[in-house]
Amino acid sequence: MAHILIVEARFYDHLNDLLVAGARAAIEAAGHTHETVSVPGALEIPAAIALAAETDRYDGFVAIGVVIRGETYHFEIVAGESARGIMALTMDGLAIGNGILTVENEAQALTRARPDEKDKGGEAAKAALALLDVRERFGG
């Protein structure tokens, strides 16, 4: 049984609630356990995962957040740098499912976040679990 940490950027509460619900349901359906920790924004997710990984308490991680395009360049920085940070950690051997939505508007986020629609939170959890299987296959 794997123990998964869900790291959520608690910026859009109502959207995160949907994403986290999907992630939790997928983890539980697969027979695993989970904890959740909140950080201020998507840029803090990779740091939180790195800090948690040092504890050896977690087998895998799910990154949850929503970045909605605004009127400034900030969207590109947050979307790109959070993805880059997560990818770097994944390349270091951590099993991370990336459920950070990068969308144009709230309507797109809702469609992707709802567990009964695109369920990107659930998909991210399944991705983390799949990476755990791959790591185990290769003796990690």
> Would you say 112 is a known binding-site residue?
yes
> Would you say 66 is a known binding-site residue?
yes
The chain-wide mean pLDDT, for the chain, equals 96
> Would you say 72 is a known binding-site residue?
yes
Given 14, 32, 34, 74, the catalytic residue: 74
> Would you say 71 is a known binding-site residue?
yes
Task: Give the 3-state secondary structure of the chain.
Answer: CCEEEEEEECCCHHHHHHHHHHHHHHHHHCCCEEEEEEECCHHHHHHHHHHHHCCCCCCEEEEEEEEECCCCCHHHHHHHHHHHHHHHHHHCCCCEEEEEEEECCHHHHHHHHCCCCCCHHHHHHHHHHHHHHHHHHCCC
> Would you say 54 is a known binding-site residue?
no
pLDDT score of 73 more than 90 = no
Q: What pTM does this model have?
A: 0.96
Per-residue confidence (pLDDT) for residue 71, from 0 to 100: 77
Q: CATH second-level architecture of 8-14+25-137?
A: 3-Layer(aba) Sandwich (3.40)
The domain locations on the chain are 8-14+25-137
At 74, the pLDDT band (50, 70, 90 cuts) reads: confident
Q: Is 3 an annotated catalytic residue?
A: no
Across residues 18-39, what is the average pLDDT? 98
Across residues 88-117, what is the average pLDDT? 97
